[in-house]
Amino acid sequence: MNAWVRLALGNLRANRRRTVITLISVAVGVGGLVFLWAFIDGINTQMINNMTGYVTGDLKVHQRGFHDDREMNIALVERWNLTPEMSAVAGVEATSPRITGHALASRADQSRTVQVMGVDPTQEPKVTRLDQSIVRGRYLEGGNEILVGVDAAAALGAAPGDELVLVVQAADGSIGADRFDMVGTFETGIKRIDGFVAQIPLASAQDLYAFQGRITEIAARVGDAGQLEQVVDAVQNELRGGRDVEVLGWPQLMPSLVQMVAFHDAVTYIVVFVVFVVVAAGIVNTILMSVLERGREFGVMMALGTPGSHIIRLVLLETIILASFGYLVGLVLGLSLTGYFGTHGLDFTAYIKAMDTMPGLSGIVYPTIIPERLAVIGVTVVSVALLAAALPAWAAGRNSPLEAMGLHRTLTNRIRRIHWQVTSDHRLLIFAQMALRSVFRNPRRSVITASATAFGLAAYLFLYAFADGFFEQMIQNSTQQLSGHVQVMETGHTVDLSPALRISGSSELVQRLQARPDVEAAAPRVALRAMVASPGKSLPVELVGIEPEQERAVTRLAGYMEQGEYVEPGANGIVIGRKLAEELDARVGDKLVITVQQANGDLSSAAEPILGIYNTGSDLFDSEYGFIDIDGARTLGGLGEDQASRIALRLSDRAGSSALAQSLSQSLPAGGLVAQDWETLLPVVVQMVEMTRVDFYLILSVVFVVVAIGVMNTMVMSVMERTRELGVMLALGTRGRQLLLTILFEAFFLALLGMGAGAIVGGLIVYWFNKTGIDLSAIRRSMETIPGITDRIYPVLILDHVWLPCLLLFACSVLVALYPARRASRLDPVEAIHRG
């Protein structure tokens, strides 16, 4: 075996150029895969670490049923002394008792719904690290103090030293309220935490929620995250003994986070599979060219008595060595790139609103290496290389020496002749004719070279179509479900939904707007921040009062009704989403108590029956909105007759929304009215699209580099392995410039061939999936946190988005021939013939 290894290494050293080219092809592909996978894994790891580190902890103990129902009467009793028992369990490093609930926080005429965490100020910092993120003021000490995020403070216009009022539904069903001194603000970089989480001392929370002597949960931090399941089981065993408690790790506590990780993994597998195909194509092309162009060498070996089986063994051994070494070089490249960005991070702060849809994700992403991924890449690369070498090696081993050396060829009988009549005035055509003859003279080499471009283009078309289909579905569904294409409102209403910001004479304005030729429909709305409460729990919502018939023409919410009826004109009742109904444990016909803050600062409440439940498939939408008749919303919010918060418009062409919004803002009556397009109204959707597009650009850039290197390697090998042929041409009087021009023409024709094949293959793949869709129903739950997305994605090919990458790929396929063409044009004829 050692002799075979020495022989294989000798062959690789004997043709260093071919060896280096093959190594580069493998290494660049491996490096790209390592970095891309680490980037996605970094997003998932950051979401988990931040959510468990800032808010949840690694595990929690509840009274059984609390996690599912969220009813505050399902409580732990402090006299059970569970906290010391938990702390004694091996693997538990710290514990902290808590009360969690929702509240309507207000200051002056501003209000905001927040998640309140009543914590022990001495114990909580040992479990979570929110205290380390304080940017103004200090952490909690005791009494009626409150700590809020910077975004919540900005929305309320509050700063440390100000007083906030919290209004809650207490555990006994009554309305609780108290004043709290704001002692500090924190900033985690996660909008979901900075905008909607507040902490108060545990004792104050017990008073506020009428919860004396009880807590809702005990949170804990474990020493080794990899041992979480074992620690959960140990705590559960320790706390048995007549107390009906349940111990849940973070995956059970935060299913939305698990779902988002599953969604990322699913998209990652799609993208990585495509990248694998591109990398494999580059490796296959290089290996094939490397083996097939060694026919003369193999012929000499067989003429000297080497059996065909030995040649096969030698080629496969050389391939294993090349692929393994290329994998190691690529591993160093990928780990170096990942290590750099793992330290410095990738800055996505420009898309911070989009990260609201990704729980726990902050503006800086740090790629993370998972060793198992590296093993998968290594096995795949070596396997692909072996498969690429097996067939040509087998064919070489079966050839006779004369066939292998090319002294007996049948291909010459099948050379395509191009009958062009050229004259001395058409020299370029002469070189083009020579290049075309060269392309058709060796179809095997031409197909291998062109296929590198074809695979790259097909991969590009599919990835772009998948991304554009994803974006188009998100935008179309979001505008149809809620926003419409343009909305008219008082300046500032988007920020705080204050009832004081209202449009008078809304009916007349609706008629004027609907008379515009580019407006299909218009509908008035009243939008209020509210708390809705069932007998057991309360949750924050955005309450939207609508005029049902006009609203049907603007949005399609009525088409998503799953149970009951849509809002009826003049009728009492509320329509809520499926997710909100599940969280409230409410059904059609049940009554909900709705509480809002009016423009004058007073609280207003009403009990409304549930008319119906809608299901759009998006948790983000189905959990945050409630719809009632517009007259009922006016009464609740203290608005007068014919007053509205907003007017929503549906256009005949969505592309004209920005232009119309700008035109309306200039022409609307004086008094502070503005028009906003859907891009402004749905910043989460826009930034989700932009950030995902940046992710795809990053991925496509890596794919482009891999494809470019693959094309260059194949082209270089295609030219360099024809040294003898090129030497003969030079010896017969072909000038170096003429040879260079011929090779460039050849590259041009091969690029055209590859582009054509890639466009056909990629187009057919996109067409197929556009009709059938890409079924992601297995991870349906993970997509419910993304606005407007369903469990089936239909790729869409938008030519405006792909023409530039196609042009760059074509130019790359031609320009990479410059280097080998220049090398070939400077060959010494005698030396080239001798080396060939």
Distance of CA 580 to the CA centre of its chain: 25
pLDDT of residue 425: 44
Burial class (CB in 10 A: 0-12, 13-18, 19+), 671: exposed
C-alpha 118/C-alpha 98 separation (Å) is 5
**CA dist., res. 551 & res. 484, Å (int):** 10
Asked if 599 and 505 count as a contact pair (C-beta separation under 8 A), the reply is no
The DSSP output letter for 411 is G
The pair of structure tokens assigned to 200 is: 């108060």
Average pLDDT across each block of 10 residues of the chain; the chain has 836 residues. List them in order: 70 71 78 84 80 84 82 81 86 91 85 89 91 92 92 90 90 86 88 87 92 90 86 86 81 77 73 71 66 64 70 77 87 91 78 56 78 87 77 64 48 37 50 72 75 80 84 82 87 74 88 90 91 83 92 89 90 91 90 85 87 84 90 90 91 89 81 84 73 69 70 68 72 76 83 88 91 76 64 83 79 78 76 62
Torsion on CA atoms 390, 392, 394, 400, rounded to nearest 10: -170
Residue 371 phi, psi dihedral angles, 5° rounding = -55, -35
Read off the DSSP letter of residue 503. Answer: B
Distance, CA of 133 to CA of 148 (rounded, Å):
11
Q: What is the pLDDT of residue 416?
A: 37
Cα separation, 394 vs 316, in Å, equals: 10
User: Other CB atoms closer than 10 Å to residue 74's CB: what's the count?
Assistant: 19
For residue 172, give both structure tokens.
Answer: 């006994």
- Pull the structure tokens for residue 192: 């979901």
From residue 819, give the alpha-carbon distance in Å to each of 29, 146, 622, 813: 21, 68, 59, 12
pTM above 0.75, yes or no: no
The span from the CA of 193 to the CA of 75, in Å, is 25
The Cα angle at residue 808 between residues 804 and 811, in degrees rounded to 5: 140
Paired with 577 in beta bridges are 614
Residue 388's Cβ-side half-sphere holds a number of Cα atoms within 13 Å equal to 29
Q: Which are the contacts of 352, defined by CB distance < 8 A and separation ≥ 6?
A: 189, 191, 363, 687
Q: Alpha-carbon distance 378 to 382, whole Å?
A: 6
Tokens read off for 719: 């030219």
Q: Residue type at 431? A: F
- Residues 6 or more apart in contact with residue 471 via CB below 8 angstroms: 689, 692, 693
In terms of C-beta density within 10 A (0-12 exposed, 13-18 middle, 19 or more buried), how is residue 417 classed? Answer: exposed
Residue linked to tokens 């218009």: 522
**Which residues contact residue 728 at a Cβ distance below 8 angstroms, ignoring those fewer than 6 apart?**
829, 833
Strands (E), 534-622: 538-546, 561-564, 574-577, 591-597, 603-614
Q: φ and ψ at 799, to 5 degrees?
A: -60, -35
**Domain residues of the chain, as ranges?**
1-58+257-408, 65-243, 411-482+684-836, 492-671
At residue 241, what are phi and psi to the nearest 5 degrees?
Answer: 130, 50
CB contact set of 343 (below 8 Å; sequence gap of 6+): 366
Distance CA 484, CA 499 (A): 21
Interatomic CA distance for residues 296 and 274, integer angstroms:
36
Question: What is the pLDDT, as a whole number, of residue 359?
Answer: 55
Q: In 748-780, which positions are buried (b, 16+ CB within 10 angstroms) versus exposed (e)?
A: bbbbbbbbebbbebbbebbeebbeebbebeebb
Which residues lie below 8 Å from residue 466, measured CB to CB, with a gap of 6+? Answer: 270, 769, 774, 793, 795
CB 824 within 8 A of CB 743: yes
Per the DSSP assignment, residues forming a β-bridge with 179 are 165
